[in-house]
Amino acid sequence: MRVETGLDRVSGDAGASIRGRRIGLVAHPASVDSGLGHAEQRLTAAGARVAARFGPEHGYGGEAQDMEPVADGQTAGSVPVHSLYARDASSLRPSAAALRDLDMLVVDLQDVGSRYYTFVWTAALCLEACHGAGLTLLALDRPNPIGGHLVEGPGIEPGFESFVGHHDLATRHGMTLGEVLKLYADDEGLADALEVVPMAGYRRDLWFEDTGLPWVLPSPNMPTRDTALVYPGACLLEGTNLSEGRGTARPFEIVGAPWIDGRALARRLERSHLAGCAFRPCTFKPAFHKHADRVCGGVQIHVTDKERFRPVRTGVALLLAAFELGGGQTAWRDAPYEFVSERPAIDLLAGGAWLRHGVEAGAELGELCAGWQEAEAAFETRRARALLYPSSG
């Protein structure tokens, strides 16, 4: 099957809205068409004038690591590059000055289907800025690489919103970026500023490898489609002093710490009877990030059945096991996280304090996940009005 992305369509027959327009382009390395041509070249060839570039977290060229500030810049032809991830939270949305003299803002960002991944929130903040400036945000839609038919995890409790959860979504939301923006625009009264160019040939139950599209890493630590599968759970380790595998060749698949016995961790996880995955004990030495140049013990998560695998539940099980086996050395991250210092990072990721409190109390996995089914069903009902694509059935 061949899916046409929003970029493929807008730079072809559906491109009337951009021809002759001065656009700002929010993009990154994965903003490519089905032939690997970058959005900037495709939109220029279709008759748009790219008058400004905007880079999300990791930068327009994708060179920066996680939470690394990126400065504004200038590129060939004197086109400015505005950073949407600089040294404070005010940089997360485009300024009025950056939007001045533009006819529209075009967003083409590959998301990975997890609430923590910041690109959807960059797009949402851009939508807010466009609404305030009287501009249209044109979102070029792309597949959810981990499927649009599976939803997992709770939403966000009031007061726990952040750049890893700017709006209430399930942890694994099963939506495309265009659908998230439609839901957000509807909830926040921003619909008059949003236009989505949907994909052609996409169905909700497609995995990325079913689309016929090339995978380009959207951020430095999202190298493969397998990474995206485990990310909704393994990213919870960012809220701890455990390594989530940054600095290895398999980030988020390989996790652990110098004080962890990988064989004991694998045995403990096997007792949790987690569907669709297996845990291989391993040792690894991160080249950078947490525990750089130190030998860590841990596990590699191998997904054996994508349809049955539940990454968020698996991530919670990992936390419970790592704290149980950590001998008092496993701890929560206490440094600021995504420009927030007044709440622990794990609470921002979990969307509330429930996970931290449960782990500290030694709760069972079933207890911590007990309310998810009701929350997931409520979210599926709420998101239905924003969905753009059918399922196979």
DSSP string for residues in 213-257: PPP--SSTT--SHHHHHHHHHHGGGGGBSSB-STTSSSBTTEEEE
Give the model confidence (pLDDT) of 70-124 as tens digits: 999 866 567 999 999 999 999 999 999 999 999 999 999 999 999 999 999 999 9
C-alpha distance from residue 120 to each of 23, 33, 97 (Å): 19, 19, 22
Q: β-pairing, 254-257 with 296-303?
A: antiparallel
Each residue's pLDDT tens digit, 164-177: 999 999 999 999 99
Domains of the chain (ranges, CATH numbers): 6-214+381-386 (3.40.50.12170), 225-360 (3.90.1150.140)
Provide mean pLDDT across the span 199-215.
Answer: 97
User: What confidence score (pLDDT) does residue 376 get?
Assistant: 98
What does the pLDDT read at residue 78?
Answer: 77
Least confident of 66-80, 106-120, 183-197, 213-227: 66-80
For 5-19, 117-131, 245-259, 281-295, which range has the lowest pLDDT when averaged over its residues?
5-19
Does residue 54 contact residue 25 with C-beta atoms inside 8 Å?
yes
CA distance 161 to 167: 7
The pTM (predicted TM-score) of the whole model is: 0.96
pLDDT the model gives residue 75: 60
Decide if pLDDT at 223 tops 70: yes
Give dist(CA 65, CA 247) in Å, integer.
10
How many angstroms separate the CA atoms of 257 and 243, rounded?
6
Q: Looking at residue 144, what is its pLDDT?
A: 98
**pLDDT at position 57:** 96
Q: Report CA 95 to chain centroid distance, whole Å.
A: 23
**Average pLDDT of the residues in 325-347:** 97
Amino acid 16: pLDDT: 87
Average pLDDT in the chain: 96
Q: What percent of the chain has pLDDT over 70?
A: 98
For position 13, what pLDDT does the model report? 75
For residue 118, the model assigns a pLDDT of 98
pLDDT at 149 over 60: yes
- Quick one: average pLDDT of 376-382? 98
All residues at 6 or more sequence positions from 287 whose CB lies less than 8 Å from its CB, including other chains: 247, 248, 293
Render pLDDT for 255-283 as a digit per residue (tens, 0 to 9).
Answer: 999 999 999 999 999 999 999 999 999 99
Query: Would you say residue 126 has pLDDT above 60?
Result: yes
